[in-house]
Amino acid sequence: MEKYQAITACVFLHRDGKLFIAKRADVKKFLPGKYELIGGHIEFGETIEDGLKREISEELGIEAIVKNPFHVFTYISENENKHSVEIDYFAKMADPTQKIKLNSEDHSDYRWISEDEIDKYFQDGDAEKIAVRKGFKLLT
């Protein structure tokens, strides 16, 4: 099995002091049913910001303004052939009145959560939980 690296990027999409998270569709092979930050793989030749805007449009059907990166971490897939580098950015909806339309192939539900709800949706030891905590701290 060939080993490879992938660049992924996600957004801390926030509004009114709350964070947008979405529940991965049950049909997903990797972490089905887990709540997560929105994002995905950056395609070859794509800037990270453009890739994030594309992923947000594909997954939520909205336009977003991608701001600065604030956190980076790496992880290795369960079968140990893929090493992912995840870069997390702050983002806001371009128009707060946009209606979110989840792509059912990607996500089955979403929530706007406050800082005190992190433990309800993210497990200890989850690298994304560390990013979420950091994002809330940097917002205040």
Supply the CATH number for residue 42's domain.
3.90.79.10
Nearest to 109, CA basis, from 47, 30, 26: 26
Which of these ranges, 5-14, 74-83, 93-102, 114-123, has the smallest mean pLDDT? 74-83
What pLDDT does residue 42 have? 97
> 112: which strand partners?
20
Tokens of 61: 């059907």
At residue 118, does pLDDT exceed 80? yes
Global confidence as pTM: 0.92
How many CA atoms lie less than 13 Å away from 22 in the CB half-sphere? 23
**Band (28; pLDDT cuts 50, 70, 90):** confident
The sign of the CA dihedral 27, 28, 33, 36 is: negative
**C-alpha distances out from residue 65 to 14, 46, 96, 109, Å:** 11, 17, 11, 22
Strand partners, 73: 86
Q: Which residue has the tokens 């569709």?
A: 25
Q: Is the pLDDT of residue 86 over 90?
A: yes
How many residues does this entry show for the chain?
A: 140
Strand partners, 72: 87
Domain extent, residue 56, equals: 4-139
Number of domains in the chain: 1
How does pLDDT run across 37-85, given as a tens digit for each residue? 999 999 999 999 999 999 999 999 999 999 999 999 999 987 788 999 9
